[in-house]
């Protein structure tokens, strides 16, 4: 995931948390807020209740890969909050959960613009 596609600062996460709308399923909570940019940015929150550092990092890597594969409309800040049950879920379960939330949130489905990436990464 490119640096420009990530939410990195606490203030960015808080803005999405406070002003964004939310949707949830048994594995994840999605918070989304339009961002007036030409690309969407993503953040991933996995609390210590979900598991130890190894488990939390594995969950974040899986979610990043799912988002990389899934078409998302441009112009959104999206935060995925992991629930404890995701630690026992398969990759396919996580993929299905992300797809469902993006569809319900209205930010999924459209192909992602790739012209902002270097040619080797398209």
Q: Which residues pair with 28 in a beta bridge?
A: 82
The answer, yes or no, to whether residue 122 has pLDDT greater than 60, is: no
Q: Answer positive or negative: Cα dihedral of 91, 95, 97, 98.
A: positive
pTM score, two decimals? Answer: 0.85
Give pLDDT tens digits for 24-82. 999 999 999 999 889 999 999 999 999 999 999 999 999 999 999 998 899 999 999 99
Determine the pLDDT at residue 118.
53
Indicate the class that CATH gives domain 3-104. alpha beta
Determine the pLDDT at residue 1.
74
Determine the pLDDT at residue 97.
96
**CA dist 63 → 10, 11, 76, 119 (Å):** 19, 22, 17, 24
Percent above pLDDT 70 for the chain? 89
For residue 3, name the pLDDT band (cuts at 50, 70, 90): confident
Query: Cβ distance 27 to 85 under 8 Å?
Result: yes
């Amino acid at each position: 995931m490119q640096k420009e596609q990530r939410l990195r600062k606490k203030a960015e996460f808080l803005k999405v948390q406070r002003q964004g709308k939310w949707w949830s399923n048994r594995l994840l909570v999605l918070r989304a807020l339009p961002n007036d940019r030409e690309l969407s940015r993503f953040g991933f929150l996995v609390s210590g209740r979900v598991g130890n550092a190894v488990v939390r990092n594995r969950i974040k890597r899986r979610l990043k890969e799912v988002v990389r594969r899934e078409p998302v409309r441009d112009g959104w800040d999206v935060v995925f909050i992991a629930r404890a049950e995701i630690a026992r879920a398969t990759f396919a379960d996580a993929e299905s959960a992300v797809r469902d939330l993006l569809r319900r949130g209205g930010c999924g489905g459209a192909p992602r613009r790739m012209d902002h990436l270097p040619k080797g990464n398209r």
